[in-house]
Chain A
Amino acid sequence: MTELPNELKLEALLSTLPAFKPLAYYDKHLDAIRVQILDCSIWEERCDRIMTIYHMNHHPKPDGINDVVGFAIKGIGYLLNKVGMNPGEAVQIAEFLSKLVKLYPTESTKRVAEFYRQQGTDMPQSVELKEAA
């Protein structure tokens, strides 16, 4: 093993960590768009094959609604094709969710779309699909 560079030591990473801001990014390895509004320990609720909802662990009063801190949409390549959006361009999240709700009007899809709408303008509006996770 080689000596760990100082910049990669856990203490150094955490003590200089940039401030967290709500984020949305494309996880190319798992072909998913991930949206997260809080840096916290998360448990993932797999709703179905395309939707996963993020809940905060160690929440003082977990109720399954107010402990939601994000979501993942999985199978992006497949879904963009299904809703007729161009995978070569940045994905407008609101537009994508709106089309998903029409195509898959499931409870989970509606929950995710509503959660995203409630976050307002603080949320990232689009995701670049070429970004590395």
Chain B
Amino acid sequence: MSEDYYCREGDVGLLRADALYPSDPGPHKEGKLAITAEALKVRYRQGLGVQIAQLYQLVLPGLILTRHVFKGLRRPLYCDGSDAGDKEKLIYTRRPAFDSVLAKDPGTGLQEAVRRAAPPNEVFVVIVSPNIRHKNKFPRVDGWIEHWNWTKEDLGLPEAPVNWIDRYDEKIFTVPW
């Protein structure tokens, strides 16, 4: 499964997934979101196995299943030399059917990723930075996968984070089912 997401751009290994991406004009286009192999290895060295399992089982295969895309984190953020970094972030949200956690294989004793029922009343959120500064080096990457987590679901907008109006500047688009 994870083989499908791997590619190399020059000397950099990437895990890259399909996703709808905001376009101008128009609400969205097909795009590619990526995380570097090095960013994955940082999490590995930190022992963050659940984050890694969620990356492979929820983030990469799930971005194309996104229900809403928001833009702009409402908080003071300084990123990449820009104090307007928060305005540029994209937030992909959906409600997956399952979560990914770790368990020991009873046969081998090795740790493995297993699926559990999704936490009730929660949505899965992926924060993405548009690929602006590194577009020349990575022309086939539209955005960088930065962070992912669960959070409580909004009561008024299914598959959106609670209080999304206070969290984000705007909703870019919703994919109709």
Are both chains from one complex? yes
B76 touches A75 (CB 8 A): yes
Q: Provide the bound-state CA to CA distance between A31 and B6, in Å.
A: 27
CB of A118 within 8 A of chain B? no
CB of A39 within 8 A of chain B? yes
A43 touches B151 (CB 8 A): yes
Interface residues of A in 110-132 (CB under 8 A from B): 132
Which of B22-30, B46-54, B62-70 is near enough to bind chain A? B46-54
B76 touches A133 (CB 8 A): no
**What 0/1 readout, one digit per residue, does chain A (18-52) give for beta carbons within 8 Å of chain B?**
11110101011111000010011111111001100
Q: Provide the bound-state CA to CA distance between A49 and B44, in Å.
A: 29
Q: How far is the CB of A54 from chain B (nearest CB, A)?
A: 8
Q: Is the interface of B mostly helix, strand, loop or mixed?
A: mixed
Residues in A with CB closer than 8 Å to B40 are 8, 13
Q: Provide the bound-state CA to CA distance between A108 and B37, in Å.
A: 35
CB of A79 within 8 A of chain B? yes
A20 touches B101 (CB 8 A): no
Residues in A with CB closer than 8 Å to B49 are 13-14, 17, 20, 39
Residues in A with CB closer than 8 Å to B163 are 46
Q: How far is the CB of B20 from chain A (nearest CB, A)?
A: 20
Chain A interface size, as a band, is: 35 or more
A43 touches B152 (CB 8 A): yes
B146 contacts which of A18, A30, A58 (Cβ < 8 Å)?
A30
A1 contacts which of B6, B100, B150 (Cβ < 8 Å)?
B6
B6 touches A58 (CB 8 A): no
CB of A15 within 8 A of chain B? yes
**Can you sample 24 A-B contacts with CB below 8 Å?**
A1-B7, A5-B6, A8-B13, A13-B52, A15-B110, A19-B47, A23-B47, A29-B79, A29-B146, A31-B78, A31-B79, A39-B47, A40-B50, A42-B50, A43-B122, A43-B150, A44-B151, A74-B77, A75-B77, A77-B76, A77-B78, A78-B78, A132-B39, A133-B42
Interface residues of B (CB under 8 A from A): 2-8, 13, 15, 37, 39-40, 42, 44-54, 56-57, 73-80, 83, 85, 89, 99-102, 110-113, 116, 119, 122, 125, 127, 129, 144, 146-147, 149-152, 161, 163, 167
